[in-house]
A = this chain, B = another copy of it.
């Protein structure tokens, strides 16, 4: 994997260079200062890296791929800014969120501006423009639907596993699907190839999100750079919480009433003993395997990097 890791570092570096070069006007500062602040933030760049790997699989021209990569990262940042206002999350990537650093009005407008900039980048690709933008905006609308479901599910204690999976498919899967599928559209590939790449990304996204939920409980606090278990304390729905609540109502209720500092160890024991941890790890593994299978539409030598990417996502510890 060393050679693959080097490739990832190279793509991330090239992407960050391009993002830093991206021209953002000085004025009006009310609009562009928070946009500059957001785009200077760190970020794993999972989405732009996936765009480039998918582009390499189709041997596409890297220049328009970089435009797609920029557009999806901007779209992602737009949703983070607006979601943070809606969810009253004050920190993002180790920095104060835009609405916390400035105020809600500024953050609303900054999000709108970044989203518009992502559309401008996408429409600067003059090949397959209508198809690319249809797919890009269908994914954007799904992101909105996913966030809507997330808000509907808040404080709803009767959410089922299927409802949760629908939510994360829209909130995380749809955009990873677009990252994988847009390069195929740009390269004029068949509908069935585009669809397979979309499914690959969606499965990867669901695996990614469930893995994230697992890290939130079973991860290493030092590597995660934060205290764990807080999502649960704040009432966030995760696959493990939903299983626990639906299957062990009484025990789960008792557990959730404990004090914060005692909880993490208890959560870990509870999820391990009930088999919920194993089942959740199994679910993530299954999504990663499904993602892998979709890649069968490509000749073997063309999808090795994407296989490696799945492995990387599957093994990440932060």
Is A126's CB under 8 angstroms from B130's CB?
A: yes
CB-CB under 8 A from A244, the residues of chain B are none
Among candidates B28, B123, B130, residue contacting A134 with C-beta atoms closer than 8 Å: B123
Q: Residue of B at shortest CB range from A149?
A: B28
* A141 CA to B23 CA, complexed, in Å: 14
Is B151's CB under 8 angstroms from A109's CB?
A: yes
Is A108's CB under 8 angstroms from B108's CB?
A: yes
Please report which residues of chain A, range 231-267, place their CB below 8 angstroms from some CB of chain B when the two chains form the complex.
none
CB-CB under 8 A from A105, the residues of chain B are 85-86, 151
User: Contact string, A190-224, partner B, CB cutoff 8 A, digits 1/0?
Assistant: 00000000000000000000000000000000000
* A124 CA to B147 CA, complexed, in Å: 25
Is B116's CB under 8 angstroms from A149's CB?
A: no
Interface SS, A side: helix
A104: interface (CB < 8 Å): yes
Q: Residue of B at shortest CB range from A123?
A: B133
Question: How many residues of chain A are within 8 Å of chain B by beta carbon?
Answer: 41
User: Contact string, A104-147, partner B, CB cutoff 8 A, digits 1/0?
Assistant: 11101101110111011011111001100110011011001101
Given A31-B148, A82-B108, A86-B108, A124-B116 contact (CB < 8 Å) = no
CB-CB under 8 A from A4, the residues of chain B are none
* A179 CA to B288 CA, complexed, in Å: 47
Among candidates B82, B85, B116, residue contacting A140 with C-beta atoms closer than 8 Å: B116
